[in-house]
Structure 1
């Protein structure tokens, strides 16, 4: 960086970075202005009395209506149903004052007759919000402030609703006004929230342009720009709306409770939480919309003016304990730190998210540092995509899995072209052991260690004595140790899920198949010892092994399809109340119904293929099964083109993988895709016509491998490396995704 940073480049970079920051700042202001126009007058109401059958005119002394307000309930306005007796454009002003039990004025609302229409509800907003500390009775005084032409009526019930008397002066009326209370209003919150995002997004744009023009290392670019964009995702993604975040919160919260020495669950296995956290714990995806944003900020502001929260776990939540199967160390650490400081729920959630983000960025930066020079820019582009940053800016354990797989991939590519040091060998085994149990479908990625030439992993002694008198290269032992460790830990973590997937297959047959596989492996080793010194024998052995493997796969499928355990017609018709079959695809069912499974997959590809691509890139936000928030498809096109630009080979550059290694890598990618399809089938009801729950983000860990394969393309090549420009383009699209995503989150309204 010092060699290429001339004074002219330094000044130009600084000016360009300032221009980019200013542009992003103006974009944030525009988003706030646009949202304020669309959402600045959004209101939420709660019905107090919806029984109305007659009209009561407002007398000179006004009407006095009492109504109850529960403890903890807020009111910032009211809505009344007026009648103008079919007359229009009356001049005048009506006032609706709110009083507490002691006669203290809480708020005043005014309404011009020009805005009051016949037989319609009209809202009166107060300057602030009042929250009842206990159950109490409030009073509305409705009167005329300016004389009007003709009578003004209010719809009311025929008879008094208990606890809600109506008076005209001192005379009781046998009626109760049709009344709704305004529990919340958006006010200027759209502008305030957009302004709070501006510093982070402007900082990200400034750093991205400056580091790109100054030709900073990919590690520095990833750490600085990724941190700014990730922190923006922490704020943009509403609470508990990231994929399965409510489950991840329960798991991390439980772990933090155990670290604190507290009892995490009651006798029924329900999670115990602090009193301040109890209202927000649930078993569903959180709310979105401007009021979800406002609630979070309001709770944080209120908590900053209050005493620290009580750390005692006194409330039983709906969430269950024991839901965490992945690593929740960073999330639990953040929650533990926030609870130790007495922070409120939303601050606690953000702290857990930030710790998760920091771990992901540390792993991604390590991956960029480990990767060979030609792959670092590509890894940086993938790491700052919207999807990985969205996962990292939530409580999802997929972020740490993603960073670990990136590190393992980068290390394997690094060792393809250099002799491994001792620490690199140890790191290879350790990372392979972590990747194995991290997530079931990523076990094939461990096979990437076999693309490393054995000579690069060899120790001081190139050959060691193995079984059957076979001389084995020490490098192969490193690869075998990586695979065995990963496989053993994978079985430990996923044995239960594997047994469930094979629930209708004979366990004895599976055991016999495993034993036969072990015997075949020993036989292959013996044959290899016999043929390794003869090229002709070795070639025949390889062909024979390929034919035997194909025959074994076909024979295994045939055996599973004839093993029995199928569902009878009555069982096939059994469904849940929502119409879904109570049976899902299992290993045996798939093998017995290969045509039906193939048809389901063929229907799924055209229907969900675009959504999978969006899931890989991150142009669909939140939990897509619950909320479909898709940003502009132009951003998706820009991300795809930027990734392809970073993946194109450069003239004179040596490809990271050789021909045979590239074929093996393609096989690993296909195995991961196939494993994800099998897992998705395992939770898809058998009466579905398409796959259920398969998301493109599952393939994100192998995206760098797919892009590395593009570097072997011979038809198109670049004169110089375009990874810096590609990273800047990806960052720009990520920033635009954040801005548009914030607008989509804030303006979302439930479908009526």
Structure 2
């Protein structure tokens, strides 16, 4: 036992690595088996003829001669097989059957042999050819169906429609009969088929990538003891690539709209038109012929066949770069074009190489992954302390899945990480923050708010930075004011229309009138304070005047609340209900002010019923677009990821608090302000008859998550006996890999087709 203990102690590093490798291999085997079970022999169908009388069957005069069903001319599509509806006379027939695809001159192109016992009376049966066939445009084809019954009582035929239910271009005939009645069999084309082994073949490279990500991270963290930013860059790049491959085409949150905006930016960079308005007010986008086929105005399909379509077309080359097609897309989002620059560069590269749609989408996603990995690694590197908070928040599966799709949130999340790290550096550094740091703060504050309106309060994170870090009291005040003004100016420039829409029912003219009248009063108060501010009698008078003014403003606000917003009659309310049960009237600031009890009830009910989903959306256990797909990973992973965030807040016993009370309050209030703005933005799109807020998702809080973790890191209720940085960083990567694997299984097993 002593030798065994000594051996374990000596080689515990490599034994731990072996245990991690075995655990990773077990997880991959489980995922591969589940994926294989969900994905084998899955087919996609297209109805060719669907007019028939149930169980009206045509039996061949001679089973060996069989029946012949004519097919329409080919259109260049690939045919994996057909679905035919058989009749067996109400019994289970014994024997064999054969369905052959023949050219017009009778040459066999593909065939399928089967057992007649699989033919259920009056049910469609999949007939899969040994190899797929491409139906050439303009060529004629036919299906030749023959039988080899075991006895004379074992008979089978095809269900058909005749007369007005038949198609003259698709005649069904008995090979030996002289009856020329027009008939057409019930028929569907199998346009895609996975077979028995496709899922495992497709899973093999993903499994290798996931295993390399986990074990490569283990080697960096424990064997090489690499720095935190190096480990983050590796995990973000490897797992971001995994999510880019796992997320089905147009399967990310609102990816169809973001891809259209990125595609439009790529067009404009090359002097081509972006999104234009069509004759009926629709949004049209010029694109390549190979892209227009897959571009859609809704989330893409999921399921194993969506992956097969992607892998079949991934290596397509030789596509023309001419923008000769037009697709209807979502209206352009009101965002800064810079948000889509990484994806647009990937799109342009794919066009230059002549790659198809799926390779173009992958390159756009890889551009997003590269930028996010670089920004996240930069944030972890420049953070002077509490690196685990940035590491854990940046490696959440939600952040990685957004980076692995075409999304406007990728750049926002990365820039917010860097901005928070810079502010923390200014708070904690013992010397002056350099010009590069100050320029970075100014530029990031000017970008984050415009990129998404709800993140404007993040600019306040620079306010607690001590004056010594910014070069003195006067320079500090000027710099902070400049940062806030830059953020506010950019925010108003890019979000003015949205703010105007939210204030559409508020009497803004009267509010502006009151505010204008307050400007001279404020100027006079400032001058008086400058002259008599140090005298006790003036301080008492100023306090009394401030209280009186506050009461007057409160009375004015109550008056505005009572006289703003829509007041609907029962008839107007009833007329506003759409077929889906939602009202055409939505919440606005005016409606909220005049219906405060209703709004409070809505918010309380939302938090009570939707908070678990918000937590899942924050950490990333709701794969894809949750509103559309409704997929949900294991709650064990959700709990583990929440525990990881709590772990990132824990500090060793000997560690001392780093942030003062002003800094803690600023960080906490900024996080709460962004949360409130997120809820308010979602509320202003919520129909007034819903019982919960529509459209709010936990992923909107990712940019303020590091700030919230920094606040919780100052607590000392729970402490660590020793540092556990390496274990936490490896756990963050391993949990993200686990969520990626389960997301793959969920996507492949789901059934959604727009």
Same fold (TM over 0.5): yes
Rounded to whole Å, the distance in 2 between the matches of 1:546 and 1:230 is 54
Rounded to whole Å, the distance in 2 between the matches of 1:511 and 1:578 is 39
Rounded to whole Å, the distance in 1 between the matches of 2:253 and 2:448 is 21
SS in 1 for 2:113: strand
Quick check: 1:82–1:152 contact (8 Å CA) kept in 2? no
Quick check: 1:226–1:361 contact (8 Å CA) kept in 2? yes
Quick check: 2:633–2:743 contact (8 Å CA) kept in 1? yes
Quick check: 1:29–1:194 contact (8 Å CA) kept in 2? no
Query: Structure 1 residues 79, 508: CA separation in 2 closer, same or farther (over 3 Å shift)?
Result: closer
Shift of 1:250: 0.8
Number of the residue aligned with 1:78: 82
SS in 2 for 1:683: coil
Q: 1:124 aligns with which of 123, 127, 133?
A: 127
Q: 1:385 aligns with which of 370, 378, 396?
A: 396
Number of the residue aligned with 2:419: 408
Number of the residue aligned with 1:48: 48
Q: 2:190 aligns with which of 165, 182, 186?
A: 182
Matched, 1:225 2:225: no
Quick check: 1:28–1:194 contact (8 Å CA) kept in 2? no
Shift of 1:108: 1.1
Shift of 1:261: 2.0
SS in 1 for 2:359: helix
SS in 2 for 1:424: helix
SS in 2 for 1:176: strand
Rounded to whole Å, the distance in 2 between the matches of 1:701 and 1:549 is 37
Rounded to whole Å, the distance in 1 between the matches of 2:526 and 2:130 is 82
Quick check: 2:335–2:450 contact (8 Å CA) kept in 1? no
In the TM superposition, what are the counterparts of 1:596-611 in structure 2 within 5 Å?
Answer: 596-611=598-613
Matched, 1:207 2:216: yes
After superposition, what is the alpha-carbon deviation per residue over 1:289-323, rounded to whole angstroms, capped at 9, x for unaligned? Answer: 0111111111124x14xxx2111111121115644
Rounded to whole Å, the distance in 1 between the matches of 2:122 and 2:622 is 43
Quick check: 2:301–2:753 contact (8 Å CA) kept in 1? no
In the TM superposition, what are the counterparts of 1:685-700 in structure 2 within 5 Å?
Answer: 685-700=687-702
Number of the residue aligned with 2:447: 434
Matched, 1:253 2:263: yes
Quick check: 1:655–1:712 contact (8 Å CA) kept in 2? yes
Query: Structure 1 residues 114, 552: CA separation in 2 closer, same or farther (over 3 Å shift)?
Result: farther
After superposition, what is the alpha-carbon deviation per residue over 1:232-264, rounded to whole angstroms, capped at 9, x for unaligned? Answer: 000111111111111111111011011122233
Matched, 1:371 2:383: yes
SS in 2 for 1:45: strand
Number of the residue aligned with 1:272: 286
In the TM superposition, what are the counterparts of 1:357-368 in structure 2 within 5 Å?
Answer: 357-368=369-380
Rounded to whole Å, the distance in 2 between the matches of 1:538 and 1:701 is 45
Shift of 1:153: 2.1
Query: Normalising to structure 2: TM-score of the pair?
Result: 0.90
SS in 2 for 1:566: coil
Rounded to whole Å, the distance in 2 between the matches of 1:716 and 1:545 is 47
In the TM superposition, what are the counterparts of 1:471-510 in structure 2 within 5 Å?
Answer: 473-510=474-511
Matched, 1:443 2:443: no
| Paired residue total | 726
SS in 2 for 1:78: strand
Number of the residue aligned with 2:434: 421
Query: Structure 1 residues 713, 234: CA separation in 2 closer, same or farther (over 3 Å shift)?
Result: same
After superposition, what is the alpha-carbon deviation per residue over 1:168-199, rounded to whole angstroms, capped at 9, x for unaligned? Answer: 33434423333333222221221122112112
Number of the residue aligned with 1:295: 309
Number of the residue aligned with 1:167: 173
Shift of 1:414: 1.1
Number of the residue aligned with 1:108: 111
Quick check: 1:271–1:320 contact (8 Å CA) kept in 2? no
| Larger displacement relative to structure 2 (407-416 or 207-216) | 207-216
In the TM superposition, what are the counterparts of 1:149-168 in structure 2 within 5 Å?
Answer: 149-157=152-160, 159=162, 161=166, 162-168=168-174
Rounded to whole Å, the distance in 2 between the matches of 1:552 and 1:635 is 53
Matched, 1:333 2:335: no
Query: Structure 1 residues 116, 474: CA separation in 2 closer, same or farther (over 3 Å shift)?
Result: same
| Larger displacement relative to structure 2 (733-742 or 128-137) | 128-137
After superposition, what is the alpha-carbon deviation per residue over 1:672-708, rounded to whole angstroms, capped at 9, x for unaligned? Answer: 1111111111111112121000001111111111111
Number of the residue aligned with 2:296: 282
Shift of 1:711: 1.8
Rounded to whole Å, the distance in 2 between the matches of 1:396 and 1:529 is 51
In the TM superposition, what are the counterparts of 1:569-588 in structure 2 within 5 Å?
Answer: 569=569, 570-575=571-576, 576-588=578-590
After superposition, what is the alpha-carbon deviation per residue over 1:582-605, rounded to whole angstroms, capped at 9, x for unaligned? Answer: 221111111111111001101111
| Larger displacement relative to structure 2 (283-292 or 727-736) | 727-736
Rounded to whole Å, the distance in 1 between the matches of 2:547 and 2:727 is 47
Shift of 1:14: 6.0
Quick check: 1:78–1:179 contact (8 Å CA) kept in 2? yes
